[in-house]
Amino acid sequence: MPERFLSTASLHLAVLVTALVSLLFAMPASAAFDVVVLDAGHGDHDRGAAIGRVFEKHLALDTARRVEQLLRKAGLQVVMTRSGDQFVPLSGRSALGNRYRNAIFVSLHYNYNRSGSGSGVESYYYHEDSAPLAGYIQAYLVQNSGMRHRGVKHASFHVIRETTRNPAVLIECGFVSNRNERTLLMGGDLRNRIAEGIAQGIVAFRRAN
């Protein structure tokens, strides 16, 4: 199935809908944060979604590094759950998300479905006070990447469920299983735009608080 990029009108609508979702879920403003815990999904023997020699663990780490650079330029402290091709247990990732006061936790992943027809980006939260962060990131991610808006969703992924001290979200940045999307993800331009969208969403969320 060909990659579905949004028309300008659909893109604006998706951003508006995401912003509205964020407002609907909005809780009293969180304290401003200075630390971002970036979690690149998978690592080492855990390849994540994989097609041929394209592994989710590599895409997630590359994207996390790009987001890290952008956030540091914006004056934020960034803590990486992994900085290389290492395996970090889920409990270790959430423990790091709970270690810091006035922080947020952002886990980066790439998606997969068996049919190969899935495409686009989506953002997940578990605790209600994390929904606004997911909404901000999703809005800017869709706006910057031009990728299909799959929504802001509630899910019980371990790393966002067990990160309880700070807002925590998990971002699916595209489908490894979609041939057209995978081809674009293998190039640096789309990963750059994805990273810019995530970083801009984080900065915008911080300014709102």
Q: Per residue, what are the HEC states of 47-105?
A: CCCEECCEEHHHHHHHHHHHHHHHHHHCCCEEEECCCCCCCCCHHHHHHHHHHCCCEEE
Return d(Cα 89, Cα 61) in angstroms, integer. Answer: 15
**pTM listed for this prediction:** 0.87
Domains in the chain, please, with CATH?
A: 8-208 (3.40.630.40)
The pLDDT score that the predictor gives to residue 115 is: 87
The pLDDT score that the predictor gives to residue 24 is: 42
Return d(Cα 209, Cα 74) in angstroms, integer. Answer: 16
Q: Mean per-residue pLDDT for 104-108?
A: 98
The pLDDT score that the predictor gives to residue 189 is: 96
The pLDDT score that the predictor gives to residue 209 is: 80
Mean pLDDT of the chain: 89
Q: What is the DSSP letter of 128?
A: G
The pLDDT score that the predictor gives to residue 93 is: 98
Amino acid at 40: A
Return d(Cα 209, Cα 206) in angstroms, integer. Answer: 5
Examine the pLDDT at 22 and tell me if it is beyond 60.
no
Q: Mean per-residue pLDDT for 188-202?
A: 97
What pLDDT, in 10s, does the model give residues 113-166? 988 889 999 999 999 999 999 999 999 999 999 999 999 999 999 999 999 999
Q: Mean per-residue pLDDT for 161-176?
A: 98
